[in-house]
């Protein structure tokens, strides 16, 4: 890949302070935003993405306050480059397009040139979407010619030559090559000389002018080889090897191919080390060896739990049939023997007792499964975060996927139970539809790789950046539909398409389409698949599931006041579509933009007490807390917690509920009797709705259900600790 891909990063910083900014506020305020933008660029140069995003997010907030389209466009572009570097391509495209929108409004030609070139690089080199990449390059070239940016024009022409030659279209690429040959001084760089010469070699090889081609290739390989030239030099060896093989010089072709592989390996190793450095890997090999045995034990435990889950499903079905039988009997008795009111009342009590028993049974089983799953998911994430070299391990990926599958099974059963008992209430949360779908796609990447599938996402640009609605229930619907499509598709594609259907007042109706080219569903089975525990068209080798996913989708859509449409043909694929209205409130946008920054850590060092009896959970929770630079102490039970609180002060207490000797509720009550006002957060595997009342009564401040997202944990910790300190200072 050419080194010119990110050349426009320098171009960003060169144009940050041009005099065409339209000041909407005081000069001091504009200068502040410009300084923040410059700092973001500097951090990006140092590959300090967290700080770069933090600065650009703050600058973006102020730019919106000033209604300064130029500064908005620049900061959106910087955020896009951050995500581009980090490999978050869909997010990068989203922010680049936002940047281009505001650049068009401000009509700053240099910005439009830069952003369209960035989009060209991303689509062509990263997404391999060649026609889109070439379209953006041509657009960038058009903008650059308006202001006669000679170097940028030359670089874009060179990228266009490379693009057309890469797809074998030498005729289209020739005019751009001729321009570079006439204006090669505008490139002003050794790296550019290497690229230009081997591109000339490729063209003359295509024309069968072997002598000219050989001269250009040798000229490319004779340039001074600096560290920055390595990438282009590797491509020169590769193309020269192809040329030599074409003219029958196979031994020389092989020698050049060896040199290409050698340089490629060096670059790969450097890239790998750079990524390891970004991730901050610090765990020594000895520490990994001490934990691997525990991981294997957890893996065995997880396998056993998966077997037990089948028994749970069978028991759940049996209880449901018993309950159904009792209700039918009750109705029959009411119709036939009204005089036996006492007997009917007793039967009703039995039915209610059975229903209560079912709820208690599901709650208990879910708690017993979530506790070990917290350890499995937590330690697996620790290994993947701290040992990036293990990210390709099939064993760890399989372990993580299996744990999440078992957790999904537990959640599905609980979800069905809650919907049937009318306990689900839709929430109003602000969210970004592109971010939510990206999270879903990433979480299903293992399943996609398993069946060699691709997940394509197409989101209508007319959809507002932020919407209001129940993003959690929407995520459950999309997760079930996309995972279902991936299970029944092999060597194919699954598409997630979101279009703006209509606008009524403040509500935007979004049309969702989940489409695959898999095995399809027979017409006779299409009316049955939304029923519980129904599996159609399965073979022994097919992926096995619970049969709950589509039933949950239909019921959740009912809560949104929507319905689902199915179209499918055997062997041709399946598509599911539905429409959901979401509210759009621009007044909340300013607050949400502040959350673009990804670094949620605090500059203060807080002291946390963990009260937990499970050793694996102690390890996982302690590791997560200390990773955020908090001081952490762990005790095994409530009595030990009371004892240490007599001697030491803590900023916050994480309290397990189900402990021997004394549970978390009783421990919290005794802490409050000692007039200790330290915030207490329940860290539990129980469902939150089941324990909220008792937790509040005991004096707890909040509840987090395991397994949890670390970001959510730190948000709650920072909020409660800050609130507690403010109350103490005010007192």
- CA atoms within 13 Å, Cβ hemisphere of 235: 20
According to the model, what pLDDT value does residue 550 have? 80
pLDDT, mean of residues 583-601: 60
Using only C-alpha atoms, the chain has a radius of gyration, in whole angstroms, of: 30
- Distance CA(369)–CA(301), nearest Å, equals 10
Q: How many CB atoms are closer than 10 A to CB 642?
A: 18
pLDDT of residue 56 exceeding 80, the answer is yes
pLDDT of residue 334 exceeding 80, the answer is no
Residue 681, C-beta contacts closer than 8 angstroms, at least 6 positions apart? 652, 653, 654, 655, 700, 701, 702, 703, 704, 716, 717, 720
- CA atoms within 13 Å, Cβ hemisphere of 333: 16
Strands (DSSP E) found in 505-630: 507-516, 565-569, 573-583, 607-611
Strands (DSSP E) found in 120-196: none
Pair of tokens at residue 590: 């300013």
SS3 2: coil
Residue 650: pLDDT band (50, 70, 90) is very high
The answer to whether 319 and 354 are in contact (CB under 8 A) is yes
- Distance CA(202)–CA(196), nearest Å, equals 10
- Distance CA(580)–CA(615), nearest Å, equals 44
According to the model, what pLDDT value does residue 342 have? 65
Residue 666's nearest CA partner among 640, 624, 695 is 695
Give the chain's count of helices (H) and strands (E).
26, 12
The answer to whether 24 and 61 are in contact (CB under 8 A) is no
Residue whose pair of structure tokens reads 């539905």 in the numeric block: 578
Instruction: List b or e across 22-34, with b for residues whose CB sees 16 or more CB atoms inside 10 angstroms.
Output: eeeeeeeebebbb
Residue 530's nearest CA partner among 490, 573, 484, 492 is 484
According to the model, what pLDDT value does residue 500 have? 93
How far lies 529's CA from each of 312, 523, 549, 563, 566, in Å?
A: 22, 11, 10, 14, 10
pLDDT of residue 506 exceeding 50, the answer is yes
Lowest model confidence (mean pLDDT) among 89-103, 133-147, 188-202, 716-730: 188-202
> What is the enclosing helix (H) or strand (E) of 721?
helix 710-730
Residue 475's nearest CA partner among 516, 423, 509, 429 is 429
Per residue, the 3-state secondary structure of 332-388, as one string, reads HHHHHCCCCHHHHHHHHHHHHHHHHHHHHHHHHHHHHHHHHHHHHHHHHHHHHHHCH
Identify the structural domains of the chain with CATH numbers, from first to last: 1-168 (1.25.40.10), 189-275 (1.25.40.10), 285-420 (no CATH), 429-586 (3.30.565.10), 597-730 (3.40.50.2300)
- Distance CA(236)–CA(248), nearest Å, equals 18
Residue 642's nearest CA partner among 609, 616, 618, 691 is 609
According to the model, what pLDDT value does residue 225 have? 63
In sequence order, what are the beta bridge partners of 512?
498, 578
The answer to whether 116 and 159 are in contact (CB under 8 A) is no
pLDDT, mean of residues 652-659: 91
According to the model, what pLDDT value does residue 430 have? 81
Residue 202's nearest CA partner among 159, 231, 223, 173 is 173
CA angle 40, 43, 44 (to 5 degrees): 85
Dihedral sign of CA atoms 612, 614, 619, 621 in order: negative
Pair of tokens at residue 546: 């619970």
pLDDT in tens, 701-720: 999 887 777 777 888 888 89
According to the model, what pLDDT value does residue 507 have? 92
Lowest model confidence (mean pLDDT) among 407-416, 546-555, 615-624: 407-416
Pair of tokens at residue 387: 């040992």
- Distance CA(296)–CA(299), nearest Å, equals 5
- 594 or 164, which is more confident? 164
Pairing relationship of beta strands 507-516 and 454-459 according to DSSP bridges: unpaired
pLDDT, mean of residues 441-458: 88
pLDDT of residue 585 exceeding 90, the answer is no
- Distance CA(371)–CA(451), nearest Å, equals 30
pLDDT, mean of residues 666-695: 88
pLDDT, mean of residues 479-496: 90
Residue 650, C-beta contacts closer than 8 angstroms, at least 6 positions apart? 607, 608, 609, 633, 678
In the predicted model, what is the mean pLDDT of the chain?
Answer: 77
Lowest model confidence (mean pLDDT) among 176-190, 241-255, 503-517: 176-190
The answer to whether 380 and 623 are in contact (CB under 8 A) is no
pLDDT, mean of residues 77-97: 88
> What is the enclosing helix (H) or strand (E) of 475?
helix 471-487
pLDDT in tens, 3-36: 444 444 434 443 444 444 444 444 448 888 888 8
pLDDT, mean of residues 212-239: 80
pLDDT of residue 508 exceeding 80, the answer is yes
Ranges 146-155, 288-297, 412-421, 678-687, most confident:
678-687
According to the model, what pLDDT value does residue 13 have? 44
pLDDT of residue 374 exceeding 80, the answer is no
According to the model, what pLDDT value does residue 277 have? 39
Dihedral sign of CA atoms 89, 93, 94, 99 in order: positive
pLDDT, mean of residues 208-217: 90
pLDDT, mean of residues 67-71: 89
- 250 or 188, which is more confident? 250
pLDDT of residue 220 exceeding 50, the answer is yes
In sequence order, what are the beta bridge partners of 579?
511
pLDDT in tens, 461-473: 999 988 988 887 8
- Distance CA(455)–CA(89), nearest Å, equals 13
pLDDT, mean of residues 224-240: 76
- Distance CA(637)–CA(660), nearest Å, equals 7
DSSP string, 504-532: ETTEEEEEEEEEE-SS---GGGTTTTTST
pLDDT in tens, 254-299: 888 888 888 888 776 655 444 433 433 332 333 333 333 443 455 4
Q: Give the distance between the most distant pair of CA atoms in the chain.
A: 109
Pair of tokens at residue 172: 């289209």
According to the model, what pLDDT value does residue 397 have? 62
Lowest model confidence (mean pLDDT) among 70-79, 113-122, 395-404, 466-475: 395-404
pLDDT, mean of residues 341-364: 58
According to the model, what pLDDT value does residue 643 have? 93
Lowest model confidence (mean pLDDT) among 322-326, 333-337, 570-574: 333-337
According to the model, what pLDDT value does residue 544 have? 45
- Distance CA(179)–CA(197), nearest Å, equals 14
- 460 or 266, which is more confident? 460
According to the model, what pLDDT value does residue 385 have? 66
Cα 289 to its chain centre, rounded Å, is 30
């Amino acid at each position: 890949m050419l080194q010119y891909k990110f050349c426009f990063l320098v171009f960003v910083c060169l144009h940050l302070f041009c005099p065409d900014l339209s000041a909407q506020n005081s000069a001091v305020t504009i200068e502040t935003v410009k300084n923040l933008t410059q700092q973001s660029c500097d951090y990006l140069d140092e590959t300090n993405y967290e700080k770069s995003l933090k600065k650009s997010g703050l600058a973006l907030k102020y730019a919106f306050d000033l209604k300064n389209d130029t500064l908005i466009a620049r900061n959106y572009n910087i955020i896009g480059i951050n995500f581009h570097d980090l490999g978050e391509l869909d997010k990068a495209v989203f922010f680049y397009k936002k940047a281009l929108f505001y650049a068009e409004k401000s009509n700053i030609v240099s910005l439009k040139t830069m952003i369209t070139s960035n989009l060209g690089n991303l689509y062509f080199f990263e997404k391999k979407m060649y026609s889109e990449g070439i379209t953006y390059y041509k657009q960038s070239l058009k903008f650059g010619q308006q202001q006669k940016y000679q170097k940028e024009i030359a670089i874009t022409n060179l990228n266009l030559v490379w693009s057309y030659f890469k797809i074998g279209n030498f005729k289209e690429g020739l005019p751009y090559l001729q321009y570079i040959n006439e204006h090669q001084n505008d490139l002003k760089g050794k790296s550019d000389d290497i690229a230009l010469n081997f591109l000339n070699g490729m063209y003359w090889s295509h024309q069968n002018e072997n002598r000219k081609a050989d001269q250009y290739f040798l000229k490319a390989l004779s340039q001074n080889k600096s560290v920055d030239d390595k990438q282009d030099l590797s491509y020169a060896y590769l193309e020269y090897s192809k040329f030599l093989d074409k003219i029958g010089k196979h031994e020389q072709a092989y020698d050049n191919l060896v040199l290409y592989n050698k340089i490629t390996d060096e670059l790969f190793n450097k890239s790998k080390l750079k990524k390891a450095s970004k991730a901050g890997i610090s765990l020594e090999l000895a520490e990994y060896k001490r934990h691997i045995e525990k991981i294997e034990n957890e893996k065995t435990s997880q396998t056993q739990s998966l077997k037990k889950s089948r028994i749970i499903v069978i028991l759940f079905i049996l209880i449901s049939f018993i309950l159904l039988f009792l209700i039918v009997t009750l109705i029959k008795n009411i119709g036939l023997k009204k005089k036996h009111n006492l007997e009917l009342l007793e039967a009703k009590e039995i039915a209610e007792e059975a229903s209560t028993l079912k709820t208690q049974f599901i709650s208990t089983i879910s708690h017993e499964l979530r506790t070990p799953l917290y350890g499995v998911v937590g330690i697996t994430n620790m290994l993947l975060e701290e040992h990036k070299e293990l990210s390709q391990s099939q064993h760890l990926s399989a372990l993580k996927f299996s744990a999440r599958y078992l957790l999904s099974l537990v959640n599905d059963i609980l979800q069905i139970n809650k919907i049937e008992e009318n306990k689900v209430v839709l929430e109003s949360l602000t969210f970004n539809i592109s971010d939510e779908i990206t999270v879903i796609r990433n979480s299903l990447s293992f399943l996609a790789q398993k069946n060699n599938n691709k997940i394509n996402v197409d989101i209508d640009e007319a959809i507002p950046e932020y919407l209001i609605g129940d993003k959690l229930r929407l995520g459950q619907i999309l997760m079930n539909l996309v995972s279902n499509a991936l299970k029944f598709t092999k060597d194919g594609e699954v598409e997630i398409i979101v279009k703006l259907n209509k606008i009524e007042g403040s509500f935007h109706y979004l049309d969702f389409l989940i489409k695959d080219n898999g095995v399809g569903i027979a017409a006779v089975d299409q009316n049955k698949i939304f029923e519980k525990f129904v599996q159609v068209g399965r073979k022994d080798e097919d992926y096995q599931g619970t049969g709950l996913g589509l039933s949950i989708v239909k019921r959740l859509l009912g809560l949104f006041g929507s319905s689902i449409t199915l179209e499918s043909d055997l062997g041709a694929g399946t598509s599911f579509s539905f429409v959901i209205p979401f509210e759009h409130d621009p007044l909340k946008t300013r607050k949400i933009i502040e959350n673009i920054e990804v670094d949620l850590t605090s500059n203060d060092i807080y002291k946390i007490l963990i009260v937990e009896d499970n050793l694996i959970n102690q390890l996982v929770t302690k590791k997560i807390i200390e990773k955020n630079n908090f001081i952490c102490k762990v005790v095994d039970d409530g009595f030990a917690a009371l004892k240490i609180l007599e001697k030491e002060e803590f900023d916050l207490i994480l309290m397990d509920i189900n402990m021997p000797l004394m549970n978390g509720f009783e421990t919290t009550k005794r802490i409050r009797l000692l007039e200790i006002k330290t915030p207490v957060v329940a860290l539990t595997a129980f469902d939150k709705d089941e324990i909220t009342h008792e937790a509040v009564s005991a004096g707890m401040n909040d509840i987090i259900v395991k397994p949890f997202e670390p970001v959510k944990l730190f948000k709650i910790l920072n909020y409660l600790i800050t609130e507690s300190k403010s109350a103490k200072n005010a007192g």
